[in-house]
Amino acid sequence: MKLSKLHTLRFLPLILLAVLLTACGSSSVMQASSWPGVAVQDEVAYVSFGPFVRAISLPDGKALWTYPQEEQRGVTFFAPPAVSQEDDVLVVGSYSQAVYGLRASNPAGSPLWTFEEPEDRVIGGALISGGRAYVPTALGRLWALDLRTGEPAWRQPFEAKHAIWSAPLTDNGHIYVASLDHHLYALDAESGAVAWELDLGTAISDTPTLADGLLLCGTFGGELYAVDSQTGGIRWTFEAEDAIWGNPAVNEELAFFGDVSGTAYAVKLATGKEAWRQTLESSASASPATAGERVYFVSEAGAVDAFDKASGDPAWPSSTKVTGRLLADPILTEYGLLVPAMESECLLYMVDADSGSMRCLLSLK
């Protein structure tokens, strides 16, 4: 293992923990120390940040609603929301030992339901599937909650050996969970029973990507694993230059991801062989986004880059620079690339996917 990897493995968990611990203070501390959690449905971005959850119109940036309407002491949101438009329900966990079910169209007044878990915090986003919300926690639990009532649907939660910092994933038969305990788990969606588990030897912070029956999973050790989703067997392994925090984005036959050395990669989905790599301006902790012929990366120091997916050649004349640190995943929408920012007066930038021009969609001012 390279020296840079050893350095990263020693300090990266402490850096992440520091971010999370500072998030439990006042809203001003939260704004200084965290990035917004974002989910998109059609023309609406749902943003969780500090003491509020907001719905923002993507075409014009106007606020559609805010919950709660007045700040509540001790309530802080870190995890991205999950939305079911069919059920008109938004599920969001807080850093304050509670999960909320809100009416997605307009959550004025009280929540539809509240699920409280003493001494546990929600950092990762929820998964909505089959009339349930699957909610991970910082103590390593995964709760299955009835989407309409918030009542537990399993006899007891699944418990990993360490924290779960990312949303689970489903193929409608299994629920897949990645944990800081080094394990990737496949659970029966109905009962929560473990179908298989795989020890990858180092922490996993983000949700795996499911493509062609493979779970693509990056680790703090700098390996990208392709795991058979039905058996848990490893198909191939790719070794990056440094720790992989985000999950890969897949476009046809290629998987794209970055590492904290600031390298962007494209590997062949079938074999794990490298197709190309590019050097970014700084660490790439976020997952990339891809559509059409391009793939988009953000790097921590505030650069947004677009590359041709096949060749890796830059698609813009230069990087787009924004104010703030970019640690959260960008999201492609029909209006452009939505880029959440940390330590910036602008929480959400909208970057034109064709030209790279940008504007602030949501500001703290």
What residues pair up with 177 in beta bridges, in sequence order? 185
> Residue 230's pLDDT is what?
96
Please check whether residue 358 is in contact with residue 351, taking contact to mean a CB–CB distance below 8 angstroms: yes
341 CB-contact burial (10 Å; exposed 0-12 / middle 13-18 / buried 19+)? buried
Residue 118 has pLDDT above 90, yes or no: no
Strands 320-321 and 303-308: antiparallel
Q: How many domains does the chain have?
A: 1
In a domain, 67, yes or no: yes
Please check whether residue 214 is in contact with residue 186, taking contact to mean a CB–CB distance below 8 angstroms: no
Residue 59 has pLDDT above 50, yes or no: yes
Residue 40 has pLDDT above 90, yes or no: yes
> Residue 10's pLDDT is what?
41
Highest mean pLDDT out of 11-25, 32-46, 275-289:
275-289
CA-closest candidate to residue 39, choices 129, 134, 104, 132 = 104
> Residue 17's pLDDT is what?
47
In a domain, 98, yes or no: yes
Pairwise CA distance, residues 124 & 121, whole Å: 9
In a domain, 87, yes or no: yes
> Residue 319's pLDDT is what?
97
In a domain, 252, yes or no: no
Q: How much is the pTM?
A: 0.91
> Residue 28's pLDDT is what?
38
Residue 348 has pLDDT above 50, yes or no: yes
* 75-112 residues labelled b (16+ CB within 10 A) or e (exposed): bbbbbbbbbbeebebbbbbbbbbbbbbbbbeebeeebb
> Residue 27's pLDDT is what?
39
- 90 in helix, strand or coil? strand
CATH number at residue 60: 2.40.128.630
Pairwise CA distance, residues 24 & 81, whole Å: 18
In a domain, 287, yes or no: no
Higher pLDDT, 143 or 6: 143
Q: Find the range with the poorest average confidence among 89-103, 183-197, 208-222, 237-251.
A: 89-103
The confidence band for 25, taking pLDDT boundaries of 50, 70 and 90, is very low
**Domain span at 132:** 35-211
The confidence band for 33, taking pLDDT boundaries of 50, 70 and 90, is low
pLDDT single digits (tens) 297-334: 999 999 999 999 999 999 999 999 999 999 999 999 99
pLDDT single digits (tens) 146-161: 999 999 999 999 999 9
What is the arithmetic mean of pLDDT over 67-78? 83
What is the arithmetic mean of pLDDT over 176-199? 98
Pairwise CA distance, residues 169 & 32, whole Å: 30
Q: Could you give the percent of the chain with pLDDT greater than 70?
A: 90
What is the arithmetic mean of pLDDT over 225-246? 98
> Residue 96's pLDDT is what?
82
Output the CA torsion sign for 27, 346, 94, 46: positive
Within 10 angstroms of residue 74's Cβ, the number of other Cβ atoms is 12
Query: How far from each other are the two terminal CA atoms of the chain, in whole angstroms?
Result: 46
In a domain, 281, yes or no: no
Q: Where are the alpha helices (DSSP H) in the chain?
A: 3-22, 27-33
Residue 239 has pLDDT above 90, yes or no: yes
For residue 76, give every residue at least 6 positions away whose Cβ sits within 8 Å of its Cβ, in sequence order, or none.
23, 24, 27, 30, 50, 51, 94, 95, 96
Tokens of 309: 């997916």
> Residue 7's pLDDT is what?
45
Higher pLDDT, 358 or 24: 358
Mean pLDDT rounded to a whole number for the chain: 90
* Radius of gyration in angstroms for the set of CA atoms belonging to the chain, rounded to a whole number: 19
Q: Could you give the percent of the chain with pLDDT greater than 90?
A: 80
